[in-house]
Structure 1
Amino acid sequence: MEGQIPTKNSGKAKRVLFVCTHNSGRSQMAEAFFNEYAPPHLRAISAGSQPAERLNQTVVNAMKERDIDISSQKPKALTVDMLDSADIVITMGCMDSNACPAAFVPTIDWGLDDPEGQPIRIVRQIRDAIESMVKQLIEQKFNEKLTSP
C-alpha cells in the first residue's frame, strides 16, 4: 500500500533499524534522535555495511549542539540477525551502493547525503533533516507523541 512502512507483522512495530554504509554519521544520528523522541516501547538501533573505525567527530559535535551525546557510540556491522529482528529498516542513502545488504529486505530509503568530509554547516543541515524525518516517523507512521520537544 502506498505510503505504508513495510513491517514484518501487522502489530505495532517495536524496533527500527537505521542503516548507512559506515554507521559513523547518518544512521547514528537517526538512532539517537529516535531513541530520544520515541516512547519507550519503540527503540532504534543502527548499523553499517562497511562500519568505520570511529564516529565522524563533526557529527558528534553537531549532535552535542542538540544536547545529545553520541560520543560513546561505536560503529556496528550490519548483521542478518539485525535485519531479521527489525520491524522496519530505514536506509540513509546507501541503496545506491552495491555494499548495502539492506537491499535484500523491504526498506524505506531516506536518500540523505553522507556527512563524511563535510563542513559543520552541511552536517547541521543533514542533522536537521534527519531530526525532522525521525519526528515525522514517530508521529505519523507510529501515531505516537514525541517524548521530547
Structure 2
Amino acid sequence: MNILFLCTGNSCRSILAEATFNHLAPAGMRAMSAGSQPTGEVHPRSIALLEREGIATESYYSKSWDNLPITPDIVITVCSNAAGETCPAYLGNVLRAHWGVDDPAKAIGTSAVIDAAFIEIYKILRKRIEAFLALPPATMAVKELLQNQLNLIGKIK
C-alpha cells in the first residue's frame, strides 16, 4: 500500500508525515510526499526534529506531485490549501482523506516557541499515523471501512 502525504509546499508537514510513516510502517507499506507548489527545500527545523526523533532524513526532499514514482493508493492532505486543490487526473481514483494541521513554518516568536510548534505538529501527525497503522487488516481490505477510518483519524489531536 502506497500513501501520499500532500501539502502545497512539501517542506514541513508532508515531509514530517512521510518520514514518520516510513519509520513506523511495516513491510509492504510506504509513504511519499509531494506538493502542488513545492518550495524546493525541506524546512531545516523539520530535518532537525526528525533527527532528534531518530528518524532517517537523508532521502527526503521537496518535490512536485507531477513527479511521483508511482500512483498512490491513498492521498492524505495535511494542509487546507492542498485539500481544496484539484489533484492531477492520475490521482482521480484513489482514497482521499484530510488530516489538516497548522503550518509550523508560520509560527512566530522565540526559537523555543517555534520549535514547540514543530513538535506539536509532529506529535499530532505521529498519533494519526500510529492509529492508521493499528487498523485491522479487515478494515484495510474494505474501501468504505478504510475511508471512514481515515476520516476519523484525521480528527485525532
TM-score by length of 2: 0.71
Partner of 1:24 in structure 2? 11
Name the amino acid aligned to 1:78: W
Q: What CA deviation, in whole Å up to 9, does each residue of 1:55-93 have, x standing for no partner?
A: 1111111111211132552101012x7497111110002
2:120 alignment partner, SS class: helix
Provide the identity percentage. Answer: 29
Partner of 1:136 in structure 2? 131
In structure 2, what is the Cα distance between the partners aligned to 1:29 and 1:131?
9
Please identify which structure carries the higher helix content: 2
In structure 1, what is the Cα distance between the partners aligned to 2:59 and 2:100?
26
In structure 2, what is the Cα distance between the partners aligned to 1:96 and 1:78?
11
- Which shows bigger deviation, 82-91 or 52-61? 82-91
> Where does the alignment leave 5 or more consecutive residues of structure 1 unmatched?
1-13, 145-149
Partner of 1:101 in structure 2? 86
Alpha carbons of 1:29 and 1:96: their partners in 2 closer, same or farther (altered >3 Å)? closer
Matches within 5 A, 1:1-149: 14-79=1-66, 82=68, 85-95=71-81, 100-102=85-87, 105=92, 106-118=95-107, 119-140=114-135
Give, in angstroms, the shift of residue 97 of structure 1. 6.4
Name the amino acid aligned to 2:13: R
Give, in angstroms, the shift of residue 111 of structure 1. 1.2
Alpha carbons of 1:83 and 1:137: their partners in 2 closer, same or farther (altered >3 Å)? farther
Q: State the Cα RMSD in Å.
A: 2.6
In structure 2, what is the Cα distance between the partners aligned to 1:132 and 1:93?
17
In structure 2, what is the Cα distance between the partners aligned to 1:57 and 1:71?
12
Q: What CA deviation, in whole Å up to 9, does each residue of 1:12-57 have, x standing for no partner?
A: xx10111011111111111111111111111111100110121111
Alpha carbons of 1:16 and 1:96: their partners in 2 closer, same or farther (altered >3 Å)? closer
Partner of 2:110 in structure 1? none
